[in-house]
Amino acid sequence: MTGTTVSIHGMWSTRLAFILAAAGSAVGLGNIWRFPYTAGEYGGGAFVLIYLLCVAGIGIPIMMAEVLLGRRGRQSPINTMRALAEREGKTPAWSLLGWMGILAGFLILSFYSVIAGWTLAYVLRAAGGAFAGIDGAGSKALFDGLVGDGERLLAWHTIFMVLTVMVVARGVASGLERSVRWMMPALFVLLVVMVVYAAWAGDLGAAARYLFAPDFARLQDKAGEAVLSAMGQAFFSLSLGMGAIMVYGSYLRRDASIARSAVMIAATDTLVALLAGLAIFPIVFAHGLEPGSGPGLIFVTLPIAFGEIPGGGLFGTLFFTLLVFAAWTSSISILEPVVAWLVENRGFTRVRASILGGAGAWLLGIACLLSLNLWSGYTLFGKGVLDLFDYLTANVLLPLGGILIAVFAGWVLPRSATLDELGGQDGVAYRSWRFLVRYVAPMAVTLVLLNGLGLFKAMGLG
């Protein structure tokens, strides 16, 4: 009834391997770089609260749906969607969901690799003692120097893309599984060390109030945009809506519990994001920095901390190294869907497919990095290429993909199929999940999307 039981691309050896890989995909720059600065742009607590609601009410159910679809189809998202739709006598056009995911993947990987490049650069800076005794202004100048230098950005972007291609080329089980096993715990421990430091040297009280006391007045007329950004952040951070989690699900064995895995992955991801906030905002407030200062936030604040801590050079080097690893375990999952498709449909070897996919994202990445310097005068909707790709993927393409995934799992697949995938127990848990993917997620995501994009305002309703 469920078709093939294994994928031609390989399988995770255990459920834990899947959880680690999916958590590796989820935990990345989105948690440590993107979450704090986005929360900062929307005033903190209210954003965080909406974010948590989105993770629990929309993110976890959609993650379960995405894993379930992947495991049932056992192919790249494009072919999985086509096969599952045809099996139910529905239009093969559902494969467009897979194509949209591939587009989102290219756009995300292109700017992701540029930011990961910043992290690589900061490993060397930390190791070379560049942060010793640095103050707010010095740190800002150091960051601006990097971002303004297109050639250096290109070099780091290239190095990171090569690293990504290398792991994907080697296949899922061997390269990936082994590395995430120790990287994830190490990153976690170091983040806790940073929080302890920030509590000791910075203003933890102010940070906690900022992050956890929702003050909706701070959103003012930006409420629609803030809700959309919080939801987009949840999709981005949980790697949902573009097929990355679907393709990882296609390598998952039949006996593993999808619900429990999804909860563990989402909980880990959320904890890491909150810890990142608690490591960064105490320093922001203690040094009079601006919480809403944008994408440079961690690259400006953390060096100040590392510059003061005894052994900060070592801690800084370790921290940015782990951040590179976190980005790496995410970037491979962004590339995997297109690689699986090239292998399935074009008969490419994995190596060739990975190189081709990586090269495409690399080229797009050049436009992203130039938008930070040479092309900084060119904008669309007030955004440069990098910001535009980031906004378009997190706040539009991933939510759209999420709606389609929820609709497919809730309305197209028969109840018996999803019940079977989710363990066969027709209890409260299953019924709640089905209610969430059939009604809540599609409607909530659609409303937030239309409202955030200003549609209701344009119609005179807002």
Which residues sit at the interface with ligand PFF, rule CB under 6 A? 25-26, 28-31, 108, 236-237, 239, 242, 244, 330, 333-334
| Shortest distance (Å) from residue 214 CB to ligand PFF | 23
CA–CA gap between residue 389 and residue 111 (Å, rounded) = 7
| Shortest distance (Å) from residue 142 CB to ligand PFF | 24
Residue 202 carries which side chain, given as an amino acid letter?
G
| Shortest distance (Å) from residue 295 CB to ligand PFF | 13
Q: Closer CB to ligand PFF, residue 33 or residue 131?
A: 33
Rg (CA), the chain: 21
Q: Closer CB to ligand PFF, residue 29 or residue 65?
A: 29
Q: Closer CB to ligand PFF, residue 252 or residue 417?
A: 252
| Shortest distance (Å) from residue 337 CB to ligand PFF | 8
Q: 179 Cβ partners below 8 Å, 6+ apart?
A: 167, 325, 328, 329
CA–CA gap between residue 35 and residue 27 (Å, rounded) = 11
* Phi, psi for 132 (deg, rounded to 5): -55, 120
Under 8 Å between Cβ of 401 and 241? yes
| Shortest distance (Å) from residue 413 CB to ligand PFF | 22
Count Cα atoms within 13 angstroms, Cβ side, for 261.
31
| Shortest distance (Å) from residue 6 CB to ligand PFF | 23
Q: Which one, of 144, 105, 50, lies nearest residue 336 by Cα?
A: 105
Transcribe 162-205 into DSSP letters: HHHHHHHHH-IIIIIHHHHHHHHHHHHHHHHHHHHHHHHHS-HH
Q: Closer CB to ligand PFF, residue 197 or residue 235?
A: 235
CA–CA gap between residue 306 and residue 130 (Å, rounded) = 10
Q: Closer CB to ligand PFF, residue 26 or residue 184?
A: 26
Q: Closer CB to ligand PFF, residue 270 or residue 418?
A: 270
| Residue number closest to ligand PFF, CB atom | 30
